[in-house]
Chains A and B, each alone.
Chain A
Amino acid sequence: MASVLARSILLRQQTSAHRIGYTTPLKIKSCYISYAAAPKEKSPENYTRYHEVSAENWRFVERLIPPTFVPSYPKNGNYSSDWTPPADTPPNLPYFVKRTKNYMVPVYLKFEEVRNERKITIIRHIEGDIWVLEKAIKSHLESLSKRPVVSQVHEVAMHIKFRGDYVNEVKKWLLNAGF
């Protein structure tokens, strides 16, 4: 009602201006519609048709939706892959290496290729005495590779870096330790 009135006033002004021959300052034409004048929302049937196909087939959709959280692993022990679960009791050591969300061992390879390739093995999720862990792994890697291994211990971020690709060796060592 109000909008219709506003529009009519504007028109009257425009026509009067044209007759007299001078230009009135332009009014911003408001095209709002009031709540009372707006069409009200109807029930869904007026907008779209739908019909239920089947309720029991919803499980085919459900199983495609990824789960919110990572489900727990089966405890039976028959794993078709290389993966082994973490130990039920923590090993009696001054350090602990926690598994990731997906129950993987937290050893990663950082690979950079700037002129010469640069490979760094990173161990994350370390708790406890990080220096003792570093010493243990370093001596193991040096015995395997028969050459010195350069390492970095980051006490604040609690990670260890080894220069070189020792990912598989470190993972094996950690799994043997029970982490």
Chain B
Amino acid sequence: MAVKIINKTVTDFSLRVTRCFFVPTKTIHSNVALFQDNLDTSLTSIEVNRSPLPIISSRKLAFPPKFKVPRQVWVSNMDTVEEEKLGLIDLHPEVFADRPRMDIIHENVRWQQLYRHVSYAHTKMRYEVRGGGRKPRPQKGSGRSRHGSIRSPIWVGGGIVHGPRSPTSYFYMLGFNARLNGLRSTLSAKLAQDDLQVVDSLDIPTDDPKYLETLIEERGWGPSVLFVDDNDIMPLNITAASDGFGHFNLMPVYGLNVYSMLKHSTLVLTLAAVERIEERILFHLNRNDAAQAASKYRLDNF
């Protein structure tokens, strides 16, 4: 069913308030009815499909940007397979329109892969190799070179001097600002490359995996999708639907990381997740004691 959207964003607060008090009495499948000024409330009450649209028409940004323009994204739904635009929201340019730093993104990916890596490669040193306790021949008299042990490093089959020693950890902590700017760069890159989608919530009507698959296929969301919500306990339906797929993953906001965002082609954020991400990143960008907070990740401090 074709959805006709009138090119008119509702920014007038009073209009928005009055619309909230009109309870639509017919199931709504198009946005046309809700941009009309006179809602038909004389019909017999049928089940309400959705709250009055647009759900979000303007969003107050914390630390309003002075000269940078906020980026706008559609808020989609997850109730139906075909996409319905529920509203248009502003995204803070400091978080979602920062200049993507490739070097910082690379640093973050490298850190994520390396900090948990433990190398189990092991070579024996001269005291670990079996044998070699006795002096092979007397110091003088044989006419041959002098040796103390048959397992010294200059001997074939001897110990390795500076070889790998198991276990070797490659743990290190990337600086606080490097990780913060990594998130900013990746989110900005995702938005710029049209791989960022915002949905109202992750509630889907069925737990059928086919529903989720067709939804993502219909909307052209990439082969792999990362759903991010503020809560770490996700709705049952989407959990069950995405369970069989390795390429559709659910994640709470506190688990958001550069590697996962790059690994999945599409990033789907809920409104709550957008709020939380912006609030946290802007807090760290504007906090007064940033140097003190970041100091524990300095190389000389651990």
User: A residues near B, CB below 8 A?
Assistant: 66-70, 90, 96, 101, 127, 156-158
Q: What is the number of contacts between chain A and chain B, taking CB atoms within 8 Å? A: 23
Q: In the bound complex, do residue B286 and residue A66 qualify as a contact, i.e. CB atoms below 8 Å apart?
A: no
Residue of B nearest to A89 (CB): B67
Query: Interface SS of chain B: helix, strand, loop or mixed?
Result: mixed
Chain A residues with CB under 8 Å of B286's CB are 69-70, 101
User: B residues near A, CB below 8 A?
Assistant: 67, 99, 101-103, 285-290
A96 touching B67 in the complex, CB below 8 Å, given contacts A156-B101, A156-B103: yes
How long is the Cα–Cα vector from A24 to B169 in the complex, in angstroms?
A: 42
Q: Can you name 23 A-B residue pairings with CB atoms under 8 Å?
A: A66-B288, A66-B289, A67-B288, A68-B287, A68-B288, A69-B286, A69-B287, A69-B288, A70-B286, A70-B288, A90-B67, A96-B67, A101-B285, A101-B286, A101-B288, A101-B290, A127-B99, A156-B101, A156-B102, A156-B103, A157-B101, A157-B103, A158-B99
How long is the Cα–Cα vector from A66 to B289 in the complex, in angstroms?
A: 9
How long is the Cα–Cα vector from A70 to B285 in the complex, in angstroms?
A: 11
How long is the Cα–Cα vector from A157 to B107 in the complex, in angstroms?
A: 14
Chain A residues with CB under 8 Å of B290's CB are 101
Chain A residues with CB under 8 Å of B103's CB are 156-157
Chain A residues with CB under 8 Å of B287's CB are 68-69
Chain A residues with CB under 8 Å of B67's CB are 90, 96
How long is the Cα–Cα vector from A69 to B102 in the complex, in angstroms?
A: 29
Chain B residues with CB under 8 Å of A157's CB are 101, 103
Task: Give A95 Cβ to nearest chain B Cβ, in Å.
Answer: 12
Additional 6 contacts, C-beta under 8 A, given A66-B289, A69-B287, A156-B103: A69-B286, A69-B288, A90-B67, A96-B67, A101-B288, A156-B101
Chain B residues with CB under 8 Å of A67's CB are 288
Chain B residues with CB under 8 Å of A96's CB are 67
Chain A residues with CB under 8 Å of B102's CB are 156
The 9 closest A-B pairs by CB, nearest first: A90-B67, A69-B286, A70-B288, A156-B103, A69-B288, A67-B288, A68-B288, A66-B288, A68-B287
Chain B residues with CB under 8 Å of A70's CB are 286, 288
How long is the Cα–Cα vector from A43 to B103 in the complex, in angstroms?
A: 56
How long is the Cα–Cα vector from A127 to B290 in the complex, in angstroms?
A: 22
How long is the Cα–Cα vector from A177 to B101 in the complex, in angstroms?
A: 27
Chain B residues with CB under 8 Å of A68's CB are 287-288
Residue of B nearest to A88 (CB): B66
How long is the Cα–Cα vector from A127 to B66 in the complex, in angstroms?
A: 14
Chain B residues with CB under 8 Å of A101's CB are 285-286, 288, 290
How long is the Cα–Cα vector from A101 to B290 in the complex, in angstroms?
A: 10
Chain A residues with CB under 8 Å of B288's CB are 66-70, 101
How long is the Cα–Cα vector from A102 to B286 in the complex, in angstroms?
A: 9
Chain B residues with CB under 8 Å of A127's CB are 99
